[in-house]
């Protein structure tokens, strides 16, 4: 006999949560109405759910009823779980932590987070690539975002920067053109997360102000080893304001206590295949292991007199101030010690706004910064709606209109061609170059002289002090070591080899002649192209003093602390030798990651051991240094394994330290004809030099421009 429903209003009937007909109990909740309902599944509106396994039906085999509000709410919410990704910086990861003031600066700023030594402020930091979509890889050649939200007691301060101290453009009006140019080409939607294509190089070759940034983009700084080993910069010149209202110019810097470190291009490509989440995973693993990433927070503070004495304009975002001229002053540190509880709710939904400042921090007239103050607020709103409201008939102009604004939700027009940025020279290739500005007939603003006691004029103009586009690019190249200069030249060759428009390659070579004749010639030779005349420069190019701080190699070998060392072994290996390697690596602050052909329990001489990773799935590109401890029989076997040979060849080719045992040398390294050098050492000497790069090796293993 069927059980009757409880009498309405009865307070002593249990609520039973169950599975579907014939199933086992899902959860027995014998709570009475009015009792604590913690743990009870409810709708979004707080109504307890009695069955989360079955839809409400008209009979056991009847149709589903529309009145099933739980079903409709659950499916409705699922259908709308996703929000539009960020236009730039879509691919990223973040973590919680704290900022600690290590030197109070009340003489410079009234901001409370800088008022007291030892004061801690909670932060959330997000790292990101710029060009790729949310589903792209972690390791492309790209600028990285470095955004920090300080939850101060005076409100939120968002320091939204990059891992490069300068930027491509001087005025925010060119930002849409820059991003249109670097994103996948509009008519084919590739390449993804890459600048090695026509439209990007067409644009920057027409924009000399980008040249300094290009030397950074083609440097090893855009191939970071991890988020933890990235520098961060506020990019712009800001102001600090003290309690008396006195202003000081300032640039903000983050310096990783783990040391600055990069990958090689070949290494980055292989990492993206082995683990496209490499940077995200590295940050997560470090925090889970308690090896919390740390950065020093430093400022370059200077007055108006210093600013006016520099051979460039401090409001120009394509310029940096060498530390030799204005030294860094460390005033704090940041520690990231907690992973988000929910990636979407925190990392995806965090909204950074450069206009979020607190008393004591203010803006300058940097035109790129001024544009960002508008853009970030607007872009956050765009993730919830559409920019194409003007395409609704009642809003649509009745006269012809044409511009280079593109895409967005509810796009009803179908723009053709790939010219969605300006300037461009696609017309020289017979393509539609798109609409152009009209200096004679276009709208011009009233200059507004002298009104409201304001004698300034409103002008669309750039100061002459912004006209030097090449001096700091020349300084950047001159500051690199020979191997870094070779990397930069090779990077230019690779990127420009992907450019199909020959006139774009030629124009870019003419710009490079203003940076360094040798660099331009090497790139031209790598492309098998004649070297064109140098492009005219808007201002004299100066020979600035090189800065060692602009070179990764000149900053010295990184410490082993926080690094991962791959150790290859196999059945029959000497456990004592493996334990010695592990202990030595861990004593130096590193992590030993053991790799074997099999991941199960392996019998060793003196015990057993499980591998952390299987050989084919743990290539040497994942590690900062490698070592191997095997017996002769295992060495002979591995010498026939392509994955094992590639493991050593890649480590050698990427100039890493390789520790070896006698059997490894005899049966594998000698077979591969790997010449012994300072980075190819017996295991007993291995820990003394890991994880340095051995650049003398590189000319032996690859051709560089």
Whether the upstream peptide bond of residue 423 has omega within 30° of 0, thus cis, is yes
Report the side by side order of strands in the sheet with 680-682.
613-614, 591-596, 564-568, 625-628, 658-660, 680-682
> Annotated catalytic residue: which of 70, 96, 162, 197?
162
Report the distance separating Cα 634 and Cα 662, nearest Å: 12
In the numeric block, the tokens 């990231």 are attached to 336
The gap between the terminal CA atoms of the chain, to the nearest Å, is 87
How far apart are alpha carbons 328 and 251 in whole angstroms?
9
Instruction: Give catalytic status of residue 89 as yes or no.
Output: yes
Measured at the CA of 35, the angle between CA 31 and CA 37, to 5 degrees, comes to 75
Q: How far apart are CA 363 and CA 247, in angstroms?
A: 11
Distance CA 437, CA 252 (A): 37
**What is Dmax (Cα atoms) for the chain?**
98
Q: Which residues contact 643 (CB under 8 A, 6 or more apart)?
A: 615, 616, 619
With a CB cutoff of 8 Å and minimum separation 6, the contacts of 18 are 25, 26, 50, 51, 53
- Record the tokens describing residue 210, joined without a space: 């980008």
Which residue in 5, 54, 77, 89 is the catalytic one? 89
Coil vs helix vs strand at 627: strand
Task: Write out the two tokens for 508.
Answer: 């870019």
Show the CA angle centred on residue 80, arms to residues 79 and 84, nearest 5°.
Answer: 130
| Gap between the Cα atoms of 225 and 270, Å rounded | 13
Going from the C-alpha of 133 to that of each of 174, 221, 274, the distances in angstroms are 21, 21, 19
Q: Catalytic annotation on 77?
A: no
3-state SS of 151-208?
Answer: EEECEEEEEEEECCCCCCCCCHHHHHHHHHHHCCCCCCCCCCCCCCCHHHHHHHHCCH
Paired tokens of 306: 């210093």
Report the C-alpha gap between 646 and 616 in whole angstroms. 10
Cα radius of gyration rounded to whole Å, the chain: 30
d(Cα 572, Cα 575) in Å, to the nearest integer? 8
**Secondary structure (3-state) at 490:** helix
Residue 323 burial class via C-beta count within 10 angstroms: exposed 0-12, middle 13-18, buried 19 and up: middle
Q: Which residue has tokens 């790997």? A: 674
Structure tokens at 246: 């006195």
User: Cis omega (within 30 of 0) on the bond before 691?
Assistant: yes
Paired tokens of 221:
């700084």
Phi, psi of 217 (to 5 degrees): -60, -35
DSSP single-letter state for residue 92: E
DSSP character at residue 14? P
Cα–Cα distance for residue pair 331/611, rounded to 1 Å: 43
SS3 content of the chain, % helix, strand, coil (to 5): 30, 15, 50
Give the three-state DSSP class for 614.
Answer: strand
Contact 628, 567 (CB under 8 A): yes
Q: What residues act catalytically?
A: 89, 162
């Amino acid at each position: 006999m069927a059980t009757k429903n409880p009498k309405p209003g009865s307070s002593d009937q249990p609520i039973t949560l169950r599975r579907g007909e014939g199933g086992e109990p899902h959860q027995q909740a014998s709570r009475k109405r009015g009792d604590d309902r913690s743990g009870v599944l409810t709708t979004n509106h707080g109504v307890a759910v009695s069955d989360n396994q079955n839809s409400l039906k008209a009979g056991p085999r009847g149709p589903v009823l529309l009145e099933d509000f739980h079903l409709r709410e659950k499916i409705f919410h699922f259908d709308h779980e996703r929000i539009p990704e960020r236009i730039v910086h879509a691919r990223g990861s973040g973590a919680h932590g704290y900022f600690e003031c290590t030197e109070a600066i009340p003489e410079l700023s009234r901001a409370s987070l800088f008022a007291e030594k030892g004061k801690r402020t909670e932060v959330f930091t997000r790292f990101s690539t710029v060009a790729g979509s949310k589903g792209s890889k972690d390791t492309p050649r790209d600028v990285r975002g470095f955004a920090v939200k300080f939850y101060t007691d005076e409100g939120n301060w968002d320091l939204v920067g990059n891992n490069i101290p300068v930027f491509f453009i001087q005025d925010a009006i060119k930002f849409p053109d820059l991003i249109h140019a670097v994103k996948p080409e509009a008519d084919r939607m590739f390449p993804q997360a890459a600048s090695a294509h026509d439209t990007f190089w067409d644009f920057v070759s027409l924009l000399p102000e980008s040249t300094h940034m290009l030397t950074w983009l083609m440097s090893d700084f855009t191939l970071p080893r991890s988020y933890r080993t990235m520098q961060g910069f506020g990019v712009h010149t800001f102001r600090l304001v003290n309690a008396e209202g006195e202003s000081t110019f300032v640039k903000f810097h983050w310096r990783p206590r783990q040391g600055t470190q990069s990958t090689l291009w070949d290494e980055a490509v292989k990492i993206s295949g082995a683990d496209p989440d490499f940077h995200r995973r590295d940050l997560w693993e470090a925090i889970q292991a308690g090896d919390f990433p740390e950065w020093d927070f430093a400022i370059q503070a200077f007055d108006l007199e210093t600013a006016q004495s520099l051979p460039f304009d401090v409001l120009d975002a394509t310029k940096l101030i060498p530390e030799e001229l204005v030294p860094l002053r460390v005033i704090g540190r940041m520690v990231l010690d907690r992973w988000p509880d929910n990636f979407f709710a925190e990392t995806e939904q965090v909204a950074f706004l450069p206009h979020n400042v607190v008393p004591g921090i203010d803006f300058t007239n940097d035109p790129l910064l001024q544009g960002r103050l508008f853009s970030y607020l607007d872009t956050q709103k765009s993730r919830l709606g559409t920019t194409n409201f003007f395409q609704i008939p009642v809003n649509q102009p009745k006269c012809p209109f044409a511009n280079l604004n593109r895409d967005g939700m509810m796009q009803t027009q179908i723009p053709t061609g790939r010219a969605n940025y300006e300037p461009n020279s696609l017309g020289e290739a017979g393509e539609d170059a798109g609409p152009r500005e009209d200096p004679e007939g276009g709208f011009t603003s009233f200059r507004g002289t002298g009104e409201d006691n304001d004698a300034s004029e409103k002008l669309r103009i750039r100061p002459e002090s912004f006209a030097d586009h090449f001096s700091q690019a020349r300084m950047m190249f001159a500051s690199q070591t020979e191997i870094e200069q070779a990397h930069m030249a090779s990077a230019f060759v690779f990127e420009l080899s992907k450019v199909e428009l020959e006139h774009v390659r030629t124009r870019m070579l003419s710009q490079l002649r203003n940076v360094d004749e040798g660099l331009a010639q090497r790139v031209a030779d790598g492309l098998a192209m004649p070297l064109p005349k140098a492009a005219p420069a808007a201002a004299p190019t100066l020979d600035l003093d090189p800065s060692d701080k602009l070179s990764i190699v000149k900053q010295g070998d990184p410490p082993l602390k926080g690094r991962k060392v791959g150790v290859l072994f196999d059945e029959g290996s000497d456990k004592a030798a493996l334990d010695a390697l592990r202990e030595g690596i861990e004593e130096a602050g590193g992590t030993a990651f053991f790799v074997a052909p099999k991941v199960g329990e392996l019998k060793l001489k003196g015990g057993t051991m499980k591998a952390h990773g299987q050989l084919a799935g743990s290539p040497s590109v994942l590690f900062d240094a490698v070592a191997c401890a095997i017996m002769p029989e295992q060495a002979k076997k591995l010498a026939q394994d392509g994955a094992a040979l590639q493991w050593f060849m890649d480590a050698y080719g990427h100039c890493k330290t390789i520790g070896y045992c006698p059997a490894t040398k005899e049966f594998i390294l000698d077979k591969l004809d790997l010449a012994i050098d300072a980075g190819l050492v017996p295991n007993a000497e291995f820990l003394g030099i890991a994880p340095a790069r051995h650049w003398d090796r590189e000319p032996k293993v690859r051709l560089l421009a």
